[in-house]
Structure 1
Amino acid sequence: MVRILLFITLIAVGASGYLAYNDINGKIDNLTNERDSAQQSSNEFEEKMNDAVAAQSKAESEAETAVAELEQAKVTNIKLGQQLTVQRNRAETATANFNQATAELVESRQTSERWRQFEMEYGTRDSIKANLATIASVKNERDNFITENSILLSRIEQLSVELSRYTGTSVKVNLPSDLAGKVTAVDSQYDFVVLNVGEDQGVREHGELLVGRSDKLIGRLRVLSVEKNRSIANIMPDYKQSEIQTGDSVYSERN
């Protein structure tokens, strides 16, 4: 009886141990499967992380490359802009030079045509030079003649004045038509005045001057003596219409 119970107990213990073993073994299998699944998930996550890091690195590298290409594109664009400006300036300069050359060509042709017409009317350059030389020679002779004639007339006038002193006759002495001056002093007692014009201005002895004040004729003078820049004249009583004063204007009869 005891043996039977002991056997039953052993069987029960064995059955319990077998069941416990099976249960533990199942749990171990489950844990192993879970571990394997977690390891696989971890490997997959790590692989995805590696892929993500690689993708990020690639993206960063591509971004850096894109930035570098953008900077290079900017530099290239600036250079192209500068080259375009240079080319535009060259084109504008060339156009301006062409327009100027065209205008000069047109002007040259017009000048050539005018000169051709001028030569047809007046002769060639050589003939014109010859004519100008002849004209210059004739003009020089004329000027010399005028100078000599003026000297002779002046001498004749002086001789006439000298002669009139001895004969008592009146001599007409011509004065420059633009002669003009002022009375600088008056001697009422002896009826003579001092003028601020003389030989350099064309005053001659025995020449006659008119005296005016405010566009009114007030007298007439006859020159007695002449110096370089002043002269002395008598007041002609027959023509005296008012008392002559310092500051009155004097001028030649033909002025």
Structure 2
Amino acid sequence: MSENAKQPNPQKEMKLDKKREKKHVSIEKKIDRENAAYEKKTNALKTKYSSKIESAKTGQKEEHLEGQKNDALRKLDSKHSRKVEKLKRSDIILRDRYQAYVHPNDLQKDMMRYHRNSLGHSLCFLAIAVGALGFCFTYSHLSVCDFSTGVDIIFNIIFMLVTFLTAEKVKVYNVKSSFAAMILGVLEILHFVWYTIPTYSNAAAQMPTWVFIATLVCYIIGGISLLFVGVTNYYRGTILKNYLKQQAATDYSAALELKGGK
């Protein structure tokens, strides 16, 4: 059973290769642009020194200009090589990180047991922060309070509390917390629709347009962050869960074999 589970999935590998290729294209374009810029600068430099050498009257001056030209070309070539090498290294690093995040190997899966989901955890706190900021924007410029205002305040308090608890679960790749994060993300966006828009439409509330836009941006950032956390945590949490099941089955089989051998 464990041997079948370890066999590579051709379809998954094909999809991964396509995603890698898309990431790789942008780096290749940057390298092409750098090569084109290098060629342009080299030609301009050669033209500049060629005209100077032709206008020189003494042989000594010609030699001096020729030396300056060679030095400038060497510096330009060295700078170009460093830039291209840096771009290639960044391409390799990005591909490795992408592969480790999307399709980790067994060692990386095992490391997930001890390494926390810092990205998801941080994004949950980002959602709390921008939600609180949107809350402050709204109520610092609100001149009318009614029943819906009280409901909104209670909602914000509960939202921040539940998001905090979800962040603690997401930190350890808890799969069930992924659904909570996605629901919270949807609620964060709907919150703007059911309260902020009607409040802005109410002339008595006197909410400035810039407050409306700032609140919209805050809630959208918070909602998208939580949706992203939910999707990625579910994906990686499922990978870890399946890996742990596979390891448990392997350990159980090894224990049975050891017991049978005795």
TM-score bucket of the superposed structures, by smaller chain? under 0.3
Q: So what's the TM-score if we normalise by structure 2?
A: 0.22
Q: So what's the TM-score if we normalise by structure 1?
A: 0.23
Of structures 1 and 2, the larger Rg is shown by: 1
Q: If each structure's helix is expressed as a fraction of its own residues, which one has the higher value? A: 2
